[in-house]
Every structure is written in C-alpha cells, then in structure tokens.
C-alpha cells in the first residue's frame, strides 16, 4: 500500500476540453489528488481560503480576473501554494510578468501531458520550470559577470543595491508603469534627466528595457 502523501491540485482553465483532459490525466496517476477544477480564477481563490492546495494549474486568459492577477492573489494569501501557468501565451512580457507574480512554472499548452506530471512534482519540491520555447527569458534575471574566474564571477555586483536614492525613486515609478514624461512631471525634472536616470538603472540592473527592469526590481525585492 502506498502511504506517500499525494500532491493536491486545483485546475483553473476556462476551456472545458483542456480542463477535463488535465483532470483525467492527473486522476489516473496515484501521486496526485485533484481537489477541484474551475473555469474562472475567482472561484478558485475563494475555495483556497478554506481549503489550500499544494499546486494550482492556472491559465492566463481567463474571464474576469486573469491568470496573472490570480497568481499574485494566491501567492499573497497562500505563499506555500505553487502556481503552474499553463497557457498558449508565449510573449516575453507575459512570461516575465508571470514569474514576477510568483509562478513557479510557465508551460505552453502544446506540452506533453505526461511531462506535466513531472513538472508538478518538481515544482512541489521547490523547482522552477520554463517551457523550452521561452526559457531564454531567464537571462533577464542574470546579472552580467565581471570576471571569468569561478571564485570572482560577481565581485562588486550588488544586484541593484548600488542605485542612488534618486534612481530608486525613478525605479519605483518605472515599476508603476510611468513613462519618461510622467516621471519627469512627477519628480519635477527634465525629460532628459528622467531618461538619464532610467538608462543608468537599466545598466546597473543588467537589463535591456523597462519591462525587464520592473520585473527584476519586484522579483529581486529591490522594490516591494
């Protein structure tokens, strides 16, 4: 008799055929306990309040609250619950936003259903998983090393903590989605100065655009 604890799972997917397919696949495997399935995020969030699960499989394009917002809410209320994004969306910004929201895995819907079982088990143990088609976004979170010496790869790199107080203020506005013009107006500085601050922030965070800077700032807890 197998006494190993089963991994409890909720499924949030508005496309009935995919949802039923996931339920069927997981219920056939003895490692999992499908606690429920939903066609919207609101119902899942409500049930999680009383009956937390180990893992939530979450679509992004949902009616009402989308998968990104739902992931943020779930991770805030149930930090121990792992969220696996299963979606047809593969834009870089959406992947980064999902990771910043607290998702532990980002899978595209063309993935082998049997592989999903392994992903659930790995994520449950604390791993992070990205679909091979979009795995290159992990480069966003990797600072550029200043050495090829294994003992000194990141000497003098402080992951954004060398931002000036002024740059921190600008970064907060970047995270809020403000444009350079809005930053300039908000801080009573010229657009040229605002652009200069943003450029310096991108360089110090080792990222190439504002979206990456915002994601890295949140993910690395530079900005809370």
Are 4 and 31 in contact by the 8 Å Cβ rule? The answer is: yes
Task: Residue 178: count other Cβ atoms within 10 Å of its Cβ.
Answer: 18
User: Which residue from 153, 146, 108, 107 is spatially nearest to 129, judged by alpha carbons?
Assistant: 107
Statement: the pTM of the whole predicted model exceeds 0.95 = no
Shared domain check, 96 and 18: yes
Q: Can you give the CATH number for the domain in which 149 is found? A: 1.10.10.10
- pLDDT band, very low/low/confident/very high, at 146 (cuts 50, 70, 90): low
> For residue 124, what are the domain limits?
7-141
Shared domain check, 103 and 58: yes
So what's the pLDDT on residue 143? 60
Residue 178 maps to a domain: yes
Shared domain check, 126 and 96: yes
Question: Domain boundary residue among 126, 141, 156?
Answer: 141
Q: Rounded distance, CA 217 to CA 19, Å?
A: 34
- pLDDT band, very low/low/confident/very high, at 136 (cuts 50, 70, 90): confident
Shared domain check, 115 and 66: yes
Shared domain check, 121 and 83: yes
So what's the pLDDT on residue 140? 62
Task: Residue 92: count other Cβ atoms within 10 Å of its Cβ.
Answer: 14
Residue 183 maps to a domain: yes
Residue 2 maps to a domain: no
Shared domain check, 195 and 180: yes
Average of pLDDT values for 59-73?
A: 93
Residue 22 maps to a domain: yes
Count of domains forming the chain: 2
Picking from 50-59, 75-84, 153-162, 189-198, which range would have the lowest pLDDT averaged per residue?
A: 153-162
Shared domain check, 52 and 161: no
Q: Which residues contact 10 (CB under 8 A, 6 or more apart)?
A: 34, 35, 36, 37, 38, 44, 47, 48, 53, 55, 56, 57
- The percent of residues in the chain predicted with pLDDT above 70, rounded, is 89
Q: Can you give the CATH number for the domain in which 18 is found? A: 3.40.50.2300
Question: Domain boundary residue among 95, 124, 141?
Answer: 141
Residue 30 maps to a domain: yes
Dihedrals phi, psi of 82, to nearest 5 degrees: -90, 135
Shared domain check, 111 and 30: yes
Residue 1 maps to a domain: no
């Amino acid at each position: 008799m197998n006494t190993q604890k089963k991994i409890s799972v909720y499924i949030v997917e508005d496309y009935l055929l995919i949802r039923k397919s996931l339920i069927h696949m997981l219920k056939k495997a003895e490692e999992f306990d499908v606690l429920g399935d939903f066609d919207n995020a609101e119902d899942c969030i409500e049930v999680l309040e009383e009956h937390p699960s180990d893992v939530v499989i979450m679509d992004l394009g949902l009616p009402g609250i989308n998968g990104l917002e739902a992931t943020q809410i779930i991770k805030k209320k149930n930090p121990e619950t792992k969220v696996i994004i299963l979606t047809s969306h593969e834009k870089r910004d959406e992947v980064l936003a999902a990771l910043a929201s607290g998702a532990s895995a980002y899978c595209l819907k063309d993935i082998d259903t049997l592989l999903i079982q392994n992903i659930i088990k790995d994520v449950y143990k604390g791993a992070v998983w990205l679909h091979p088609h979009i795995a290159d976004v992990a480069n966003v979170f990797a600072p550029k090393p200043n050495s090829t010496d294994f003992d000194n790869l990141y000497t003098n790199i402080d992951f954004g903590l060398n931002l000036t107080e002024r740059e921190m203020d600008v970064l907060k506005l970047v995270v809020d989605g403000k444009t350079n013009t809005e930053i300039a107006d908000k801080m009573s500085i010229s657009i040229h100065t605002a652009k200069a601050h943003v450029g310096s922030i991108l360089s110090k965070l080792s990222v190439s655009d504002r979206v990456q800077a915002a994601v890295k700032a949140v993910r690395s807890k530079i900005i809370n």
